[in-house]
Structure 1
Amino acid sequence: MTFFKKNGWLITLAIIALLFPLILPNQYFIQIGILIGIWSIAVYGLNLITGYIGQLSLAHAGFFAIGAYSLGLLTLNAGIPFWAAFFLSLAITAVFGLLIGLVALRTKSHFFAIYTMSVGFLIYLVIYKWDELTGGVRGLIGISAPDGIGPVTFQSITSQYYFVIFFLLVTIFLMRRIVHSLLGRTFTAIRNSEDLAKTIGISVMKNKLLAFVLSSIFAGLAGILYASYIRFLGPEIAYIEVAFEILLYLLVGGIGTLAGPLVGTIIVVTLTQSLQFLEEYRMLIFGPIVVLLILFYPQGIVGQYYMWKMKRNFKKKPSIHAGKENSVKEARS
């Protein structure tokens, strides 16, 4: 019973996600579901470094592109089977995350954000200019879909949806375990005060670097899933605009919350797709809506819900104490 109470929202999410293609068997809605799943994984990665460590990374689109292009190049140019390329791509993204993090994390505050933004733009330029390796503007075409596992294949749109949802649920599960573990509390202590964390013996640099590498791995995983679903890549996936879109999903949902990345991605992606018929004019409606959300819900939708819940519980406590005092007085009389 305790397990279901603690993991109720995750179990509910899993059930809804599994039943979604049966409830709405429309290919368009399933495609939106796939995109929500992919971008949610990337946002969860950003939430780890930004929400729990307090470092605003703007290189996330770059790591997303590294994961995607690694899979494409390994399967197309090197002829490596999908699953071997899958894990190699994660390893390559982790190595880039480690190397970039070693330098980036020596900077602080807005200098860290500027540095990571510059790194992200540099990754974009490398992809755009290095024709011989990445295909430049032409990009990579014909990336293979995931290889089947036994009788299970991933050729249909529905099977690809479940493929992405599996990794989304694994991501949420791992994030929950991290956040509620000693490691997660260490991350939060560093976010609250690096100096105080040092005084109690926490290795700040080591833990920040670990969070940065984990964050890049999740971004790389999202890129890998994107490449295997879209089947072609262009340099635009590494552009700084993508990094700001991922940040927007997190801001709308709620920084430093477990459900925030998913809620924000669902809302923004659904809203964006709903306004596609307006073409370039959709930002005239979408922009003000997002601004109002951030103005009136600065903690994000999920963060604001937690704030409301805390206030409600706080208001209930005096009445409980008052009830106890009255019962004591009645007993004495």
Structure 2
Amino acid sequence: MTSLLGKRITIVGLIAAACVFPFITSNLYMLHILTLAFIWMIAVYGLNLLAGYTGYLSLAQAGFFAIGAYSLGLLTVKAGLNYWLAFVLACVITSAIGFLVGLVALRTKEHFFAIYTLCVGYIIYLVIDKWDGLTGGVRGLIGIPAPASIGPISFQNPLSQYYLILFFLLLTIFVMYRIIHSLSGRAFIAIRNSEELAQTIGISTMKAKLLAFVLSTFFAGLAGALYASFIRFLGPDIAYITIVFDLLTYLLVGGIGTLAGPIVGTFLVVTVSQSLQFLQDYRMLIFGPLLTLLIIFYPRGIAGALHDWMTKLASKKKQTPSRKQKKGKDAYVHEQTSEKKVKEG
């Protein structure tokens, strides 16, 4: 009960800190970086659902991120649709393409699945890069509108966009929590632990894996649509393989298969990278070895290591008797000894 209350207080505190942050600092650059970090967190949550809870590492996440971004851009700039209608359609289009890709990709396993999705991601990058007539190619896509107003609420300035993206991040965390603690979430974890055993207990593994894959692409598309309306310019680089490894780095640092991992990893890596900007290209000489050591000594990431430490601490408290229990036990032993002496005497 105490641990549950502590978790709730921590969650409320973090949400309050995120809400108050823009009023603490007047640095618009830091606000911009933190807003971008929120977008990456949503994409990492999608990757975590598939890789962390189902055990299938998709290397096409950047490609689906780009599909969501370009879908919003093309529907608003070239088709002239209402922003929020285009926003919903961008998520639907990404999920539909993810469904079709998943039907084929999920017939493979382990490293074959990773290689296949890597190829899919690269094909998406090539389509965006070479199809000049649709995507603008290397010139990119410009003129993407900011989120349309909802009644009296406008999203034309950085502060309002910060709170809009924070809202979608909190909604993503809530939905992810509900998924993980549902029957579908338990099916995902069963597949991760042993797919053969999951089949023997009656789980339709193909349906469960396909659901996880489609949900993963949905969150990637959602993050991509938010990115497009925040940056308002798109280039083919957002689908490149380096973006996939950035997302994977955020996940590994934070903790794969943990609910807090995407937040912790993304926030730490982004802030540390920004603080090392003065070193320019040499900052990776510092960041690379630190990341390697972290993965070696804490394979479940920072959030996983903290969870393990708290679990061990709680178990030690349960195993260690309190002073009152010790005194009671000592008194009982003393009483039994005294009675035994009296009988013998």
Would the TM-score normalized by the shorter structure come out above 0.5? yes
The aligned counterpart of 1:97 is: 98
Taking only the aligned residue pairs, the percentage that are identical comes to: 63
Q: Distance in 2 between matches of 1:6 and 1:292?
A: 28
Change in CA separation of 1:202 and 1:322 when aligned onto 2, cut-off 3 Å: farther
Task: After TM superposition, list the pairs within 5 Å mapping 1:108-147 onto structure 2.
Answer: 108-147=109-148
Structure 2: 5+ residue runs without aligned partners?
336-345
| TM-score (ref. length: structure 2) | 0.92
1:265-284 Cα distance to aligned partner (Å, 9 max, x none): 00001111112222222212
TM-score (norm 1): 0.95
Q: Map Cα deviations across residues 192-239 of structure 1 (whole Å, 9 max, x no partner).
A: 111111111111110110010000000111101110000000000000
Distance 1:196 1:136, change over 3 A: same
Q: Which residue of 1 aligns with 2:185?
A: 184
Q: Distance in 2 between matches of 1:74 and 1:267?
A: 34
Name the residue aligned to 1:216. 217
- Higher deviation after alignment, 252-261 or 301-310: 301-310
Residue 331 of structure 2 is aligned to residue 330 of structure 1 = yes
Specify the code of the residue in structure 2 equivalent to 1:13. Answer: L
Query: For 1:298 and 1:195, how far apart are their aligned partners in 2?
Result: 25
Task: Please state how far the C-alpha of 1:33 moved relative to its aligned partner.
Answer: 1.0
Moved more, 319-328 or 289-298: 319-328
Deviation of 1:290 after TM superposition, in Å, equals 1.6
Q: Residue by residue, what CA displacement relative to the aligned partner does 1:287-308 show, whole Å, maximum 9, x if unpaired?
A: 2222222222221000011111
Q: Which residue does the alignment assign to 1:32?
A: 33
Cα RMSD, aligned residues only: 1.8
Q: Determine the C-alpha separation between the residues in 1 that align with 2:323 and 2:113.
A: 50
Residues 323 and 9 from structure 1, CA distance in 2 versus in 1: closer, same or farther, beyond 3 angstroms? same
For residues 180 and 322 of structure 2, the distance between their equivalents in structure 1, rounded to whole angstroms, comes to 33
Shift of 1:324: 4.9
* Per-residue deviation, residues 18-58 of structure 1 (Å, max 9, x unmatched): 10101112101101110110000000100000000010110
Alpha-carbon shift at residue 252 of structure 1 (Å): 0.1
Distance in 2 (alpha carbons) for counterparts of 1:144 and 1:298: 41
Match of 1:17 in 2: 18
Name the counterpart of 2:240.
239
After TM superposition, where is structure 1 displaced by more than 4 Å over at least 4 residues in a row? 1-6, 321-326
Structure-2 residue corresponding to 1:56: 57
Higher radius of gyration, 1 or 2: 2
What residue number does 1:309 align with?
A: 310
1:184 Cα deviation after fit:
1.4
* Corresponding residue for residue 281 of structure 2: 280
Match of 2:174 in 1: 173
Deviation at 1:163, TM superposition (A): 0.9
Structure 1 stretches of 5 or more lacking a match? none
State how far apart, in whole Å, the 2-side matches of 1:318 and 1:154 are: 54
Tell me which moved more, 322-331 or 175-184: 322-331
Which stretch of the first structure deviates more once superposed, 258-267 or 312-321? Answer: 312-321
The reply on whether 1:264 has 2:274 as its aligned counterpart is no
How many residue pairs get aligned? The number is 333
